[in-house]
């Protein structure tokens, strides 16, 4: 019959995440008597379908390793903390949308309102806040659900305390950083190596399947790096965090 899990990872951009996820599933499920298949459902979320005599064990392992998205609006609760993805960054002026994995009865994103962003970060238009924070579509973030209106199907949220601590850490050490979404970390590393900019990197952190944080060495300028590695990872969106560049 088969079972499936929609995990909180997306495949988009150059779609290199598929082959990486296949390898990860091979490691996770390789000893079980199952076959698995990866597919993309609404809004680029990844569904893992498994079939075979160990499928119950396999789906349990997948949920434990990756988690799963809520899928239904009715399963969202106020006060709950969810991992989602930034979406349509800067396309509306009244807040930032986070796709938390609500697909039914129809896809619905959570709104982090502008007034909260201004109070939490700094007084500026949304575009200026998003640019200053380096936010790009696809960036994994953790949010706390503050309001769910089931009638109008509206969801409001704020960034969780842990997420805010991470944002502040990214901006407080005086180092330029790149937020890259739309290709796997290995492709980012290859682009840095090919351009010789691996020497300008302090550390690289995998934020998600297709999202990477690159921390640059002191004195290294993010826009210069973007100009050179950008053509090698054309499918990716690249944001820069430049401490001290906001209001």
Domain borders along the chain are: 3-66, 71-169, 173-241
Reported pTM: 0.94
Contact yes or no for 76/105 (Cβ under 8 A): no
Q: How far is 185 from 217, CA to CA, in rounded Å?
A: 18
User: CATH: 3.30.160, 3.30.310, 1.10.620, 3.30.420. Which one for 3-66?
Assistant: 3.30.310
CA atoms within 13 A on the CB side of 104: 8
Q: Give the CATH class of 173-241.
A: alpha beta
Q: Residue-wise pLDDT tens for the chain (247 aa)? A: 799 999 999 999 999 999 999 999 999 999 999 999 999 999 999 999 999 999 999 999 999 999 999 999 999 999 999 999 999 998 999 999 999 999 999 999 999 999 999 999 999 999 999 999 999 999 999 999 999 998 888 999 999 999 999 999 999 999 999 999 999 999 999 999 999 999 999 999 999 999 999 999 999 999 999 999 999 999 999 999 998 655 4
Sheet holding 201-208, edge to edge: 201-208, 211-216, 177-181, 237-241
Q: Span 71-169: which CATH code? A: 2.40.50.140
């Amino acid at each position: 019959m088969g079972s499936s899990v929609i995990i909180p990872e997306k495949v988009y951009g150059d779609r290199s995440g598929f082959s990486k996820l296949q390898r990860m599933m091979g490691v996770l499920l390789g000893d079980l008597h199952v076959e698995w298949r990866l597919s993309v459902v609404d809004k680029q979320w990844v569904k893992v379908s498994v079939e075979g005599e160990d499928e119950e064990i396999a789906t349990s392992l997948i949920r434990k390793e990756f988690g799963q998205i809520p899928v239904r609006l009715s399963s969202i609760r106020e006060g709950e903390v969810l991992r989602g993805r930034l979406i349509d960054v800067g396309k509306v002026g009244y807040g930032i949308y986070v796709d938390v994995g609500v697909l039914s009865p129809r896809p619905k994103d959570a709104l982090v309102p502008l007034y909260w962003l201004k109070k939490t970060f700094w007084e500026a238009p949304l575009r200026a806040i998003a640019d200053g924070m380096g936010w790009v579509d696809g960036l994994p973030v953790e949010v706390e659900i503050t309001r769910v209106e089931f009638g109008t199907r509206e969801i409001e949220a704020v960034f969780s305390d842990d997420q805010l601590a991470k944002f502040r850490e990214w901006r407080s050490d005086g180092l330029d950083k790149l937020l890259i979404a739309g290709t796997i970390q290995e492709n980012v590393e290859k682009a840095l190596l090919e351009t010789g900019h691996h020497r300008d990197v302090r550390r690289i952190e995998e934020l998600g399947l297709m999202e990477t944080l690159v921390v640059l060495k002191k004195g290294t300028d993010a826009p210069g790096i973007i100009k050179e590695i950008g053509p090698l990872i054309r499918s990716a969106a690249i944001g820069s965090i430049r401490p001290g560049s906001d209001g």
